[in-house]
């Protein structure tokens, strides 16, 4: 059966690894805008959220049939020698009972939300998994960039547990948000029933501004080791010689990164910007420079820059499998980054550039079309 009648009010359970509102970081953006798109096409979403540090949100009641919250078992309560912490800490008997109590399909957001499948507590057959990363690869890469020996050991152990755990998930339909993650699951884990549906995003129209901006921008969650490494690399290896104003913006930067950003007069850092402030920075920047040191998933900061900002420079690790290559300038070493940054900093952003991006948005990141594809997988 294919879900082709957009007025049909089907029901769907979604299990989210976190409360997806406000949609202020990558993973929850996909969840939140997916729910909005499904609601708009008439799907009654029964949302189940694990909570740890984020408030309950009345706004979710406006786009969901019902919303349930479950405490995540943090710390030693969620620790397991056998299972990865990100999954074992999200286990709730009441959740699995609710999901088993009807015939509605279930979408489990991330490897994080799948413990009921592995434990046998979730017995329903019409279940699919939304893959947000190849998690075992992602944790291995995070471990490689960690400076703390304790955190490094944790990341590598979690990666080891995740690889064995993720191998057990391939019996279920898997929906990847990047083509490279889908290909990895096919090739390495031998997954048969895997689909690619791009991330659900805030944009329906490109909001990039024509003309010239006044600075280069790197933004991201700066408490994540990979993002701190990228920002550090830009400050130490690129903008140490390239005298173009650089703003680094994001959540919870380390004291070391804050100090490094103020070493030179043409670089600075904006700590914990609010949504309005970050959007203002993105629109005013002339150049978005976004290196990545991991290949897994799709970085939402790239989508944000492409559909709301001016020129974007990124490396192959950031661009691979995104369909955004036409909207970005690839640069894969220090020399290329410096050359293209200097060139694009003085180049006006035009209406033609905006139209290219609008075409990519309509073709690949169309929330309404992607919601239909998702429901077809779940039927």
Q: Whole-number mean pLDDT of the chain?
A: 93
Exposure of 252 in the CB half-sphere (CA atoms within 13 A): 5
Q: Is residue 2 part of a domain?
A: no
The reply to whether 104 and 237 lie within a common domain is no
pTM beyond cutoff 0.85: yes
Helix (H, G, I), strand (E, B) or coil at 289: strand
Beta-carbon contacts of 301 under 8 Å, excluding residues fewer than 6 positions away, are 26, 219, 220, 290
Q: To the nearest whole percent, how much of the chain has pLDDT over 70?
A: 97
Q: For residue range 335-354, list pLDDT tens digits in order.
A: 999 999 999 999 999 999 99
CATH at residue 191:
3.40.50.2000
How many percent of the chain have pLDDT more than 90? 83
What confidence category does residue 8 fall into, taking pLDDT thresholds of 50, 70 and 90? very low
The pLDDT of residue 2 is 43
Residue 208 lies in a domain: no
Q: Answer yes or no: are the C-beta atoms of 88 and 79 closer than 8 Å.
A: yes
Closest to 46 (Cα-Cα) out of 60, 56, 59, 57: 60
Please check whether residues 25 and 156 belong to one and the same domain. yes
Say how many C-beta atoms besides its own lie within 10 A of residue 29's C-beta. Answer: 20
| Domain identity same for 334 and 370 | no
Q: Is 359 left (phi over 0), alpha (psi -120 to 50) or beta?
A: alpha
Locus of tokens 């279930």: 106
Q: Residue 290: inside a domain, yes or no?
A: yes
Regarding whether 255 and 141 lie in a shared domain, the answer is: no
Assess whether pLDDT exceeds 80 at residue 289.
yes
Provide the pLDDT for residue 246: 98
From residue 196, give the alpha-carbon distance in Å to each of 68, 107, 129, 131, 283.
Answer: 28, 15, 12, 10, 30
Task: Verify that 231 and 252 share a domain, yes or no.
Answer: yes
**From CA 208, how far away is CA 221, in angstroms rounded?**
22
Cα separation, 13 vs 21, in Å, equals 17
The answer as to whether 296 is a domain residue is yes
Q: Which of 208, 209, 167, 210 is nearest to 188 (CA)?
A: 167
* Residue 47 buriedness (CB in 10 A; 0-12 / 13-18 / 19+): buried
Instruction: Kindly state whether residue 3 falls inside one of the protein's structural domains.
Output: no
Domain residue limits at 291:
216-363
Looking up tokens 């173009």 gives 244
Q: Is residue 207 a part of any domain in this protein?
A: no
Condensed to tens digits (0 to 9), the pLDDT of residues 79-107 reads 888 999 999 999 999 999 999 999 999 99
Could you tell me if residue 211 is inside a domain? no
Retrieve residue 197's tokens.
């549906």
DSSP annotation of 349 reads B
- Total number of domains in the chain: 2
**64 and 148 belong to one structural domain:** yes
- How does 119-150 read in b/e, with b if 16+ C-beta sit within 10 Å? eebbebeebbbbbbbbbbbbbbbbbbbbeeee
As a whole number of angstroms, the distance between CA 248 and CA 7 comes to 45
Say how far apart CA 144 and CA 155 lie, in whole Å. 9
Do 81 and 99 lie in a common domain?
yes
On whether the CB atoms of residues 261 and 250 are closer than 8 A, the answer is: no
Tell whether 59 and 106 lie within a shared domain: yes
Q: Do 267 and 295 belong to one domain?
A: yes
For 203-247, write each residue's pLDDT tens digit: 989 999 999 999 999 999 898 888 999 999 999 999 999 999 999
d(CA 363, CA 370): 10
Buried b / exposed e along 195-234 (16+ C-beta atoms within 10 A): bbbbbbbbbeebebbeeebebbbbbbbbebbbbbbbbbbb
Tens digit of pLDDT for each residue in 111-168? 999 999 999 999 998 999 999 999 999 999 888 878 889 999 999 999 999 999 999 9
CA dist., res. 100 & res. 130, Å (int)? 19
6 pLDDT more than 80 = no
Residue 198 pLDDT greater than 50, yes or no: yes
**Looking at the structure, do residues 255 and 177 belong to the same domain, yes or no?**
no
> Domain check: are 115 and 141 in the same one?
yes
Examine the domain organization and report whether 300 and 165 are in the same domain.
no
Please check whether residue 48 lies inside any domain of the structure: yes
**Tokens (6 digits) for 369:** 């079309």
């Amino acid at each position: 059966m294919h879900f082709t009648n957009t007025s049909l009010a089907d029901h769907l359970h979604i299990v989210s690894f976190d409360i997806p509102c406000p949609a202020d970081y990558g993973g929850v953006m996909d969840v939140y805008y997916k729910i909005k798109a499904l609601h708009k096409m008439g799907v009654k979403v029964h949302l189940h959220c694990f909570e740890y540090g984020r408030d309950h949100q009345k706004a979710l009641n406006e786009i969901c049939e019902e919303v349930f919250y479950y405490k995540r078992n943090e710390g030693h309560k969620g620790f397991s020698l056998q299972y990865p912490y990100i999954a074992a800490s999200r286990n709730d008997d009441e959740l699995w009972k609710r999901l088993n109590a009807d015939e509605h399909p279930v979408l489990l957001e991330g490897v994080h939300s799948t413990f009921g499948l592995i434990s046998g507590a979730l017995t329903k057959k019409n279940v699919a998994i939304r893959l947000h990363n190849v998690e075992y690869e992602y944790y291995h890469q995070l471990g490689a960039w960690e400076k703390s020996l304790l955190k490094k050991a944790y990341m590598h152990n979690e990666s080891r547990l995740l690889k064995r755990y993720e191998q057990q998930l391939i019996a279920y339909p898997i929906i990847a948000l990047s083509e490279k993650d889908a290909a990895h699951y096919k090739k390495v884990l031998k997954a048969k029933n895997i689909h690619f549906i791009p991330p659900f995003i805030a944009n329906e129209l490109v909001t990039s501004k024509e003309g010239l901006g006044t600075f280069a921008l790197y933004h991201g969650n700066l408490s994540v080791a990979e993002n701190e490494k990228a920002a550090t690399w830009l400050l130490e290896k690129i903008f140490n010689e390239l005298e173009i104003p650089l703003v680094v913006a994001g959540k919870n930067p380390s004291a070391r990164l804050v100090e490094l950003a103020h070493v030179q007069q043409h670089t600075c850092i904006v700590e914990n910007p609010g949504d309005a402030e970050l959007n203002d920075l993105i629109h005013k920047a002339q150049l978005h420079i976004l290196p990545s040191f991991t290949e897994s998933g799709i970085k939402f900061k790239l989508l944000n820059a492409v559909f709301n900002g001016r020129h974007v420079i990124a490396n192959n690790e950031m661009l691979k499998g995104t369909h955004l290559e036409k909207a970005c300038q690839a640069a894969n070493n220090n020399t290329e980054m410096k050359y293209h940054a200097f060139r694009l900093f003085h180049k006006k952003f035009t209406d033609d550039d905006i139209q290219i991006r609008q075409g990519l948005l309509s073709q690949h990141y169309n929330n309404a079309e992607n919601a239909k594809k998702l429901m077809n997988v779940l039927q």
